[in-house]
A and B are shown apart, each in its own frame.
Chain A
Amino acid sequence: MHYNTGHHPHLTVCDIDGESLLVIDPDTVFWALVPRGEDINSKIRQEILPLYDRVKRECEEEMQVFRFKSSLAVIYMNSVSRCNLNCSYCYIPQELRRSHQQLKKEQLFVILTKACEYAEENEGGRKLTIVFHGSEPLLMKEEIFDAVEEFEDKLYFGIQTNGTLFKEEDVDFIKKHGVSVGTTLDSPYPEVHNSLRKTWSGEGTFEDIVEAIEWFDGYQRLNVVTTVTNQNVAQLPEMVSFLHDRRVPSVLLNPVRGTQESARHLMPDNKALIKYFIGALERAEELTRETGRQIIVGNFANILVGIIAPTARKLMCDISPCGGGRCFLAIGAKGDVFPCGEFIGIKEYYGGNIFRDSISDIMDSEPFRMVRGRIVEKIEPCNACAFRNICGAPCPAEIHSMQGNFCNPSPYCEFYEELIRFAFRIIARDKLRYYLNEDALNGLEYKYRLGE
């Protein structure tokens, strides 16, 4: 049995650390970890190739379906253009956040009805998820809560909010209706958070957000987003401790996107990002070991899932084509539709208007097809990278804005590369239970396993 020639499997060997070598087919994400010091050629021929020969076709089909046939699952509603905050790194253009466009309740209901009909006709009645996203959805809290009550049997709901407008009774409503919530906190230190996330008049928001997080008191559908900049990157391990103390079940540590020029001077250096992000992961592991209570770093968990169960990943940024215009779309306050919230305000990516066009026509529009056409195979050096289908070279909107052509690698390429290497080390050391929800992990089944 041969490899890397002709019709035989093509396997790439990568160094992971001093203990293991990774053998991977980057196209299917079939992988094997071989202890250093072993005769790797013998291991490939005697153990890895016989397994891959058995599962290769299935792996190929699975990845093909996942990358190119996944259907619409989420609609991001940017129902209100206004925001009560003026965060300097916001991905939504400032002039839009200053404007006062907002969907009326009747318009919102028309859109949600249309979403239900689309799901019925195209998804076999599978429930779509509606996420009320930017600019600040709780500025139209009454309309949103009415929508949740009216449509909760037909749709799932989530709210991504800056967290400053919650009242305690809102938290009760959200818990009662099982709405997923993402809120934002950038630092455990008030002065750092307040320098990044402030009102138009410059007032800080730390206390309001922390109070709201405490009201949620361990609510399992709460997720805190920390936007990582060069101002807070060194605090990521402390951020994890701070949120764990407040019973937050999961956090996303998202490097700031350079989609808007005003954010670019805040982008963290890749080396600092790697150092402190991995420090935050190690802190999360320590806390789990010490307390028995987990805090999951969602964007790292997604990478792990992308390796051990590629089609079960949740964040559709880490695969190409990304989820934009494929698994999700974003609707603005005037009904304009874009492949993702990151594209809002970029004219070339306007896919239609939800009040004039059908969702099917919008999904088939040229801008949506263009985003779906961005695959790592077209990007140098991603097309030869062993991690190309674990990383996906995000984010097209950011890269378009920064480089004028989205078929380029991510400005965080080095960070993603090192994070994936770290993920393989976690797998090699059998430590997944500290990084993925243990109950859910136990609920997963083996698709294949060496030795079976």
Chain B
Amino acid sequence: MYYKKIHLNTDCPKIAIMSTNISEKGVKEENEEKQSVMAYRLKCPTAANGGLSHYMFGESPADKALF
């Protein structure tokens, strides 16, 4: 359910983090760990422009079916 608290980097404080230095030892240890980060992007092969559609009425059946 909804809960509101202070958030970073949307309408609340903007704080950037940045890299400083990391030891080679640290790098090797990280690489041995199981992957836990999620990152991906999808594309719709049947829609125009590789995915571009429009308001509520789609052009291709696959496109329409998303909604």
Chain A residues at the B interface, C-beta cutoff of 8 Å: 1-5, 10, 12-15, 30-35, 38-48, 51, 55, 59, 65-66, 70, 73-74, 126-127, 129, 131, 156, 158, 180, 182, 220-221, 223, 250, 252, 271, 274-275, 278-279, 282, 296, 298, 301-302, 305, 308-316, 323, 327-328, 381, 384-387, 413-414, 417-418, 421, 427-428, 436-437, 439-441, 443-451
How many angstroms from the CA of A444 to the CA of B14 in the assembled complex?
A: 34
Beta-carbon contact of A14 and B9 below 8 Å: yes
Q: How far is the CB of B45 from chain A (nearest CB, A)?
A: 6
Chain B minimum-CB-distance residue to A305: B66
* Inter-chain CB contacts under 8 Å: number: 224
Known: A46-B27, A312-B53, A421-B7. A250 touches B37 (CB 8 A): no
Residues of A within 8 A of B44 (CB): 309, 312, 440, 443-444
Mark contacts of B23-65 with chain A using CB atoms, 8 A cut-off: 1 yes-contact digit, 0 otherwise.
Answer: 0001100110001111111111111111111111111001111
Are B64 and A309 closer than 8 Å at their CB atoms? no
Q: How far apart are the CA atoms of A93 and B48 in the complex, in Å?
A: 35
Query: Does the CB pair B52–A311 fall under 8 Å?
Result: yes
With a cutoff of 8 Å between Cβ atoms, the chain B residues found around residue A437 in the complex are: 65-67
Ranked 8 nearest A-B pairs via Cβ: A312-B51, A32-B39, A4-B18, A440-B65, A73-B54, A158-B57, A311-B51, A449-B40
Q: A66, A313, A443 — which one has the most chain B CB atoms within 10 A of its CB?
A: A443
Contacts of B42 in A (CB 8 A): 308-309, 312, 444-447
In the assembled complex, which residues on chain B have CB atoms less than 8 Å from the CB atom of A74?
A: 54-55, 57
Where chain B touches its partner, the secondary structure class is loop
**Are B56 and A311 in touch, CB under 8 angstroms?**
no
What are 20 A-B contacts with C-beta separation under 8 Å?
Answer: A2-B19, A4-B19, A14-B7, A14-B8, A14-B10, A43-B37, A44-B19, A74-B55, A158-B57, A180-B64, A274-B2, A308-B40, A308-B42, A316-B55, A381-B11, A384-B9, A387-B10, A413-B11, A437-B66, A449-B40
Which A residues lie within 8 Å of B31 (CB)? 46
- Is the CB–CB distance between A33 and B49 below 8 Å? no
A3 to B38, CA, bound (A): 19
- Asked if residues A33 and B10 are in contact (CB atoms below 8 Å), the reply is no
Query: Is A450 within 8 A of B27, CB to CB?
Result: no
Q: How far is the CB of A206 from chain B (nearest CB, A)?
A: 23
A443/B35 in contact, CB under 8 A: no
Residue contact B35 to A450, C-beta cutoff 8 Å: yes
Query: Given A13-B9, A31-B39, A45-B19: A127 and B66 within 8 A (CB)?
Result: no
A444 to B63, CA, bound (A): 10
Docked pose: A437 CA to B57 CA in angstroms: 15
Please give me the residue from chain B that is nearest to A70 by CB atom.
B52
- By a CB distance below 8 angstroms, the chain B residues around A34 are 36-37
A418 to B10, CA, bound (A): 10
Q: Which of A35, A421, A450 has the most chain B CB atoms inside 10 A of its CB?
A: A450
Distance of A441 from chain B, by nearest CB (Å): 8
For A3, list chain B residues within 8 Å (CB). 18-19
In the complex, which residues of chain B have a beta carbon less than 8 angstroms from the beta carbon of A39?
Answer: 30
In contact, B66 and A180 (Cβ under 8 angstroms): no
- Residue among B16, B36, B54, B64 facing the most chain A CB atoms (10 A cut-off): B54
Pairwise interchain contact A48-B9, C-beta atoms closer than 8 A? no
A residues within 8 A CB of B9?
12-14, 384-386
Contact A298 B10 (CB under 8 A): no
Residues of B with C-beta under 8 A to A312: 42-44, 47, 50-53, 63, 66
Contact B56 A418 (CB under 8 A): no
- Using A41-B22, A42-B30 as known contacts, say yes or no to A158 and B56 having CB atoms under 8 A apart: yes
Please give the distance in Å from A331's CB to the nearest CB on chain B. 15
Residue on A nearest B64 in the bound complex, by CB: A221
Contact A33–B37 (Cβ < 8 Å): yes
Q: In the assembled complex, which residues on chain A have CB atoms less than 8 Å from the CB atom of B46? A: 443
Could you tell me if B11 and A314 are in contact, using CB atoms closer than 8 angstroms? no
Distance between Cα atoms of A449 and B39 in the complex (Å)? 6
Beta-carbon contact of B22 and A42 below 8 Å: yes
Minimum C-beta distance from A400 to chain B (A):
20
Other-chain residue from B2, B39, B62 in contact with A51 (beta carbon distance below 8 A): B39
Most buried by B among A70, A298, A314: A314
- Which residues does chain B contribute within 8 Å of A301, judged by CB atoms? 66-67
The contact of A448 among B15, B26, B41, B55, by CB within 8 Å, is B41
